[in-house]
A and B are shown apart, each in its own frame.
Chain A
Amino acid sequence: MFGSSIIVFRETLEAALIVGILTAATRGVSGRNRWLIAGITAGLAGSAIVAAATNTIAEMASGFGQELFSAGVLGIAVLMLAWHNIWMAAHSKELAIHARNTGRAISDGKRECSVLFAIIALAVLREGSETVLFLYGIATAGSQSTHTVLVGGLLGLTGGVAVGWTLYAGLLRIPLRWFFSVTSLLVLLLAAGMASQVARLLIQANLLPSLAAPLWDTSSLLPPDSVLGTLLHGLAGYDARPAGMQIIFFAVVLVSIVIGMKLISQPQQPSK
C-alpha cells in the first residue's frame, strides 16, 4: 500500500507544484477557477489516453517516441509559461488592483485563461499518464488487492495535492507589492527547468549531444532523491549531474523570457 502511495505522491507532487504556482500567479484573473478545473479534468482524461497508447507511442520514432512525446509536451508547456510571464509583465499592475477590489475584468483575460488551461492540462497529462500505467500494471498483475492499491494511491494523491495547496496558500500570504514578482520568478524557473528536461530527454534519445556530461556533480551535496532535491527538481528541473546541453537550454529560455518581459513592460513606463 505504501509503495503505491509513494509513487502516486511523487507523480502528483510535480503537477501539484505547477498547479499551485500557476493558480497563485493568475490571482485576480476572472473565471480562473473554472479554467483550472477544466485543465485538470482534460489532463486526467489525456493521461488515460496516453497510458492506453503507451505501446504505440513507445514504438514510434524508432523506439524513442516516448522521449519525443514528453519533450513535445514539455516544449509546448515552456512556450505557454513564457507567454504567461510576458503577459503578466504587461498586466501585473492591473491585476494587483483587481486582486484588491474584485469585479473589474481584465482586458485580454480570456486568452490568459486558455493558456492557464493548457499549462495545467499538460502538467497533469505528463505526470498522470505514468500513474495510470502504474496502477493499471498492479491491477492486472493481481499480486496486491486492488482495494489496497487504490487506498494507497488516494493517500499519495492527497499528499501531493496538500503540498501544492500549501505552496499556493503560502504564496498568497506574500504582500501584493512583491506578489507578482515572486510568482513571475517561480514561473520563470519552472519554464527554464522544463527546458532543461527537454534537453535531457533528447540526450537520452541520442538526438542531442550531451556536451560535457556531467558539467558538475552535486549528488553528495544535494541528493536528487532527497526531499529538497525532489522539490527543486519539480520547481526548477534540478539535476545533480546536469549535462552541459541542459544548462544551455535552461539559460536560453531564462534569458529569452526575461528579455520578453523587459520589452513588453517598457512602453508602459512613460505613462507612470
Chain B
Amino acid sequence: MKKLLFITLFLLTSTAFAADAEFTIVIREHRFEPAELIVPAGKKIKLLIENQDSTPEEFESYDLAREKVIPGNSAASLYIGPLKAGRYPFFGEFNESTAKGAVIAQ
C-alpha cells in the first residue's frame, strides 16, 4: 500500500514537472535575448527572466496578461500559458524603445 502510494506520488510529481516546460530570457543592455521565444502551445510554461542590467526592468505583456518587475542584476520567474498557437508580444516597460520581444506558441 505504502509502495503504491509512493509510486502514484512519484508519477504525479514527475508528470507535474514534465508539464512545466522551462525557458529563459536574458535582458542585456535593455534588450531581450532571444527577442523571439518559441514555446510549445497548450502547455504551462515557466519563464525565467534574467536581468543582467544594473537597472530594474518590468516584463510586461498585454497579450499574455503578465507583468513583473525584475530588479537589476537578478533573475525572476513567472508562469504563462497554456497558450493557443500564436504570437504574444511582450516588452520591457521601463525601456520600451529597445526592449521588445514576443513569445511564439506553436
Contacts and interface: CB of A to CB of B under 8 A. Distances in A.
Interface of A: 3, 6-7, 54-55, 58-59, 63, 66-67, 130, 133-134, 136-138, 140-141, 200, 203-206, 210, 213-214, 217, 219, 223-225, 239-242
Interface string B57-83: 110001101101111101011111110
Contacts of A206: 20, 44, 46, 79
- Among A58, A214, A224: residue with most chain B CB under 10 A: A58
Chain A, interface SS category: helix
Contact of B62 (A67, A204, A217, A224): A224
Interface in B68-100: 68-72, 74, 76-82, 84, 93-94, 96-97
Given A55-B74, A58-B76, A241-B63, A213 B69 contact: no
Contacts of B74: 55, 58-59
B8 interface: no
A133 B56 contact: yes
6 contacts: A134-B94, A204-B66, A205-B79, A213-B82, A214-B84, A217-B84
B78 to A, nearest CB: 5
Given A55-B71, A224-B65, A241-B63, A134 B77 contact: no
Nearest to B77: A63
Contacts, number: 78
Q: Please name the 7 residue pairs, one residue from A and one from B, whose CB atoms are nearest each other, closest first.
A: A137-B55, A224-B62, A206-B79, A55-B71, A225-B62, A134-B94, A239-B65
Given A54-B56, A134-B94, A241-B63, A203 B71 contact: no
A205 B78 contact: yes
Contacts of A66: 68-69, 76
B17 to A, nearest CB: 12
B68 A223 contact: no
Given A130-B58, A224-B62, 9 more contacts: A54-B69, A66-B68, A133-B58, A134-B94, A137-B55, A138-B55, A204-B80, A206-B46, A241-B65
A203 B79 contact: yes
B55 A219 contact: no
A214 B62 CA distance: 13
Contacts of A203: 79
A67 B46 CA distance: 15
Contacts of B66: 204
Contacts of A210: 44, 82
